[in-house]
């Protein structure tokens, strides 16, 4: 039952005449006279009995009083859990196992039920086996590439030695030039190997990742501190300290990145220098070469160099073969993640600690995705909820104070606050997409509420003290005009326009037009 009423203040006293009592006394007298009538002998001399004067009923009169006018909204609600959520699977399927029953108490993260995932688990096992195989192939390719580098480098060194031997008759300058070539090629190989090491260095990458995580943490924490400072929960000194910590973390991140870039640049610069040294050494050898007898040894050396360069290229993580195997590995990992997500979505997991208040689920049932199969609630935290119409909702606002009277505990009252109103009431203009159309009133104090217990909620909408008021029956309305008939001390009457304020079932505030103590005649 929803109604608007008034409380507190003096009640107007209506003074109405009781003409019916007087009429009840006069009617028997009139009837007796008519029954007796005049005698035949004296019929000509009889005087007709006069009719009684009609009694005009008195109209109710009211006195303009001063007091308190209170407008309230009253409605009936039920005790409901503060936390209550429908349970549903995120994917369709056939129920494989149900681990709980109605009335069971569960913890957050408990698996309540799961769909039949035998086929998905089989696919997951196959993908995990494929992952191991792909990882093994990649590791073998990396080992083989390293071995090829060692082998080709040995052949290169041998080819260089053979060529040097073939040129025993060459001048010392030619021998020195070839030695320079050998040294430059070794330096180039080392420089390239060093680049590979730098690019794959866990130490450099970990340092950057650690600084990134550190900077992200301080940035998030500073955001929380800023919110607390704006809410008045943190002083400016502490906020400045956390800002300084954030700046230090960002500086450390930039230093780590700069160090990583510097290490990479130095490794690349070493390759450029080694390549330049090798080019100069080979140019010097070409300049000194003059004997056709060493052509075979030179050809062998050239091939050894090509083989070695190819081995280096094959060992590069950016090479075609390495990238192809890395993509295969990544694809298998994605497939595994997808299957794990599908298996996880096939589980019904408790989002928080509470009691299973409803569960319509049995093994073998077919369920649709996002269709409720049960309800989880936490009965330890209870509030009052009610379904109201738009007229009542339009009068309500968030954080309004409420008085709660429990039906099964007459005489006891508790306090509460309007916690939530359905869209678009309560001052919000944003539709959150929820389907909760209930009014939620938080409950203050300890009352050991029983779920479903009825309660009467009263909210004070307006309250004015020390104002003039009359009963609504004393107010007359004609064509949108509000007026009263005021009785003057001399008995005359006059119409007076009035301005109304709060109007309830029992009292109407007189904002203007009348004074305390004036007598008003009702209709």
The 10s digit of each residue's pLDDT in 352-397 is 999 999 999 999 999 998 999 999 999 888 899 999 999 889 889 9
Contact 385, 78 (CB under 8 A): yes
In a shared domain, residues 53 and 64: no
Looking at 340, 363, 388, which one is the last position of a domain? 340
Confidence bin at 170 (pLDDT 50/70/90): low
Q: Does a structural domain hold residue 515? A: yes
What is the predicted pLDDT for the residue at 488? Answer: 93
Angle among Cα 108, 110, 111 to the nearest 5 degrees reads 140
| Percent of the chain whose predicted confidence (pLDDT) is above 90 | 41
pLDDT at position 286? 81
Answer whether residue 109 is part of any domain.
no
As a whole number of angstroms, the distance between CA 84 and CA 438 comes to 13
- For 161, the token pair is 């030695």
The pLDDT value given to residue 434:
58
Final residue before a domain boundary, out of 340, 362, 386: 340
Asked if residue 56 has pLDDT above 60, the reply is no
Whether 278 and 195 share a structural domain: yes
For residue 15, is pLDDT > 80? no
What's the CA gap between 68 and 46, in Å, rounded? 65
481 sits in the region (left: phi over 0; alpha: psi -120 to 50; else beta) called beta
Domain shared by 385 and 456, yes or no: yes
Q: Do 129 and 1 fall into the same domain?
A: no
Question: 376-380: long-range contacts at Cβ-Cβ below 8 A with a sequence spacing of 24 or more?
Answer: 376/84, 376/85, 376/87, 376/106, 376/350, 376/351, 376/352, 377/81, 377/83, 377/84, 377/85, 377/451, 378/81, 378/82, 378/83, 378/84, 378/352, 378/353, 378/354, 379/81, 379/354, 379/355, 379/451
Flag whether 7 is in a domain: yes
Is residue 295 located within the same domain as residue 147?
yes
Which of 323, 340, 357 is the last residue before a domain boundary?
340
d(CA 295, CA 166): 9
DSSP string, 67-95: EEEEEEEEEEEEEEEEEEEEEE-SS-EEE
Whether residue 54 lies inside any domain: the answer is: yes
Choose the weakest-confidence range: 81-95, 193-207, 396-410, 498-512. 193-207
Are residues 494 and 406 part of one domain?
yes
Same domain, 174 and 321: yes
In angstroms, rounded to a whole number, what is the distance separating the alpha carbons of residues 356 and 375? Answer: 6
- Could you tell me the pLDDT band of residue 428, with boundaries at 50, 70 and 90? low
What's the token pair of residue 260?
A: 């990583």
Cα 327 to its chain centre, rounded Å, is 36
Residues 316 and 391 in one domain: no
Query: Which domain range does residue 467 map to?
Result: 1-13+59-89+371-523
Q: Are residues 294 and 163 in the same domain?
A: yes
Tokens of 84: 């209550």
pLDDT (0 to 100) of residue 118: 83
pLDDT at 334 over 90: yes
Residue 485's pLDDT is 95
Query: Is residue 360 assigned to a domain?
Result: no
Comparing C-alpha atoms, which of 307, 319, 335, 324 is closest to residue 137? 324
The answer to which of 14-18, 75-79, 161-165, 221-225 has the lowest mean pLDDT is: 14-18
User: Do the domain assignments include residue 149?
Assistant: yes
Q: Please report whether residue 29 resides in a domain.
A: yes
Mode of pairing for the β-strands spanning 372-386 and 354-359: antiparallel
**Does residue 98 lie within any of the structural domains?**
no
Task: Verify that 134 and 239 share a domain, yes or no.
Answer: yes
**Whole-prediction pTM value?**
0.45
So what's the pLDDT on residue 270? 85
Mean pLDDT (the chain) is 83
**Same domain as 283, residue 420:** no
- The reply to whether 171 and 83 lie within a common domain is no
Please say whether the beta carbons of 510 and 463 come within 8 A: no
In angstroms and rounded to an integer, the radius of gyration of the C-alpha atoms of the chain is: 49
Number of domains the chain is built from: 3
Mean pLDDT of 131-158: 90
């Amino acid at each position: 039952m929803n109604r608007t009423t008034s409380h507190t203040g003096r009640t107007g006293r209506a003074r109405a005449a009781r003409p019916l009592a007087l009429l009840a006394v006069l009617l028997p007298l009139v009837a007796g006279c008519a029954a007796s009538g005049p005698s035949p002998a004296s019929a000509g001399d009889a005087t007709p009995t006069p009719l009684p004067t009609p009694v005009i009923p008195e109209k109710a009169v009211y006195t303009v009083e001063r007091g308190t006018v209170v407008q309230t909204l009253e409605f009936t609600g039920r005790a409901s859990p503060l936390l209550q959520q429908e349970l549903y699977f995120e994917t369709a399927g056939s129920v494989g196992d149900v681990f709980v029953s109605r009335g069971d108490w569960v913890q957050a993260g408990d698996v309540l039920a799961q769909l039949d995932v035998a086929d998905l688990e089989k696919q997951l096992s196959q993908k995990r086996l494929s992952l191991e195989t792909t990882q093994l192939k990649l590791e073998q390719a990396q080992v083989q590439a390293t071995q090829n580098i060692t082998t080709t480098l040995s052949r290169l060194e041998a080819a260089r030695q053979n060529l040097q031997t073939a040129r025993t008759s060459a001048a010392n300058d030619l021998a020195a030039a070839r030695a320079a070539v050998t040294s430059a090629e070794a330096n180039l190989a080392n420089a390239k190997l060093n680049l590979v090491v730098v690019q794959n260095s866990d130490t450099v990458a970990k340092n950057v990742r650690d600084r990134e995580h550190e900077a992200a943490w301080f940035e998030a924490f500073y955001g929380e501190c800023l919110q607390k400072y704006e809410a008045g929960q943190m002083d400016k000194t502490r906020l400045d300290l956390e800002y300084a910590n954030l700046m230090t973390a960002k500086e450390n991140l930039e230093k780590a990145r700069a160090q990583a870039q510097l290490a990479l640049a130095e490794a690349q610069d070493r390759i450029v220098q080694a390549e330049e040294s090798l080019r100069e050494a080979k140019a010097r050898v070409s300049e000194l070469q003059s004997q056709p007898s060493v052509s075979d040894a030179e050809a062998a050396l050239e091939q050894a160099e090509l083989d070695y360069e190819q081995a280096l290229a094959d060992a590069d993580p950016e090479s075609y073969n390495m990238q192809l195997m890395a993509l295969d590995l990544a694809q298998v990992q994605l497939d595994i993640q997808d299957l794990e997500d599908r298996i996880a979505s096939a589980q019904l997991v408790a989002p928080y600690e509470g009691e299973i208040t409803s569960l319509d689920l049995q093994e073998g049932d077919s369920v649709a995705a996002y269709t409720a199969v049960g309800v989880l609630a936490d009965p330890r935290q209870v509030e009052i909820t009610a379904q109201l119409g738009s007229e009542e909702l339009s009068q309500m606002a968030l954080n309004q104070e409420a008085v709660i009277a429990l039906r099964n505990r007459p005489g006891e009252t508790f306090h509460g606050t309007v916690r939530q109103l359905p869209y678009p009431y309560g001052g919000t203009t944003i539709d959150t997409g929820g389907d909760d159309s209930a009014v939620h009133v938080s409950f203050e104090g300890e009352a050991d509420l029983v779920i479903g217990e009825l309660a009467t909620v009263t909210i004070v909408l307006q309250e004015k003290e020390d104002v003039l008021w009359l009963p609504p029956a004393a107010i007359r309305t004609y064509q949108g005009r509000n007026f009263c008939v005021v009785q003057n001390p001399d008995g005359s009457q006059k119409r007076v326009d009035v301005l109304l304020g709060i109007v309830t079932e029992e009292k109407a505030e007189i904002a203007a037009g009348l004074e305390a103590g004036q007598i008003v005649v009702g209709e």
